[in-house]
Amino acid sequence: MMTTQRRGVGAKLFGTGRIVLWRAGSLWIGRAEAGADSHAHHAIQVTLALSGGEVRFQIPGQDWASYKAAIISAHQPHAFEARGELFALIFTEPESREGRMLRERFRTGLAPLAPDTFAEEAAALASAYGADATDDELTDRARAVIARLTLAQAVQSRPLDKRIERAIEVLRERIGETVSMAEIADVVHLSPERFRHLFLEETGIRFRPYVLWLRLELALASYAAGKSLTDAAYAGGFADSAHFSRTFKRMFGVLAGAISVQRV
């Protein structure tokens, strides 16, 4: 049976749909009711209009532009609007294998995508959502879109530095604890200063903001699973729901409580 999680009190509804997460990625799929203010996040974002219309983006200093499908690089500020449209946002972290391949092909900013390139995969994703598919099925359909995009990658991406790869593994294992940069640097046998520079060079984000991003992922997973905003905030290590909401708004352009999350 489909149940709908109640959104936060007083939050203007952004949209209703499903959120599923996997290692270094997530899918947000549903129907939009309002727009998202300008924001930026540590993920490459593939956006698809799934019901025949278009989605709209605005880059700071530019006019609004419409797309059937588009890709936005990590940390690129943008506003988003897709009122009434069934849409999908597929997030891929840039340091992941798929993310590095996407970074090689789509360098910076906002770029249109040719829907015909992955029309079959997009249709399968929309169909799975309409059929109340399991989270695993939606994950497979979303990752198939990314696979289709990276399949066209002619140049092999540079592998992530093994020390930073290990550091991220340790961070994910310890994200529920208070962990310092010096501790992680020691694990991978680097000085804190060398680790600081290498981490930014390899991931495109500083250490502390990356830790915050991982904590936001934990909170989001808890919220999508049906927990209250307060419980989700605590699950991610935030002081309270207000801190979680402010961080969410900065990274996604809407309040967490503005998303009505459906669960199957």
Task: In whole angstroms, give the CA distance from residue 213 to residue 256.
Answer: 15
SS (H, E, C) 32-76: ECCCEEEECCCCEEEEEECCCCCEEEECCCCCCEEECEEEECCCC
Task: In whole angstroms, give the CA distance from residue 215 to residue 133.
Answer: 27
Bridge pairing between strands 86-92 and 25-32: antiparallel
Under DSSP, the state recorded for 83 is B
What string of pLDDT tens digits covers the 264 residues of the chain? 233 444 554 567 889 999 999 999 999 999 999 999 999 999 999 999 999 999 999 999 999 999 999 999 999 999 999 999 999 999 999 999 999 999 888 888 999 999 998 999 999 999 999 999 999 999 999 999 999 998 755 445 678 999 999 999 999 999 888 889 999 999 999 999 999 999 999 999 999 999 999 999 999 999 999 899 999 999 999 989 999 999 999 999 998 888 888 877
163-193 confidence digits (pLDDT tens) = 999 999 999 999 888 889 999 999 999 999 9
pTM, entire model: 0.91
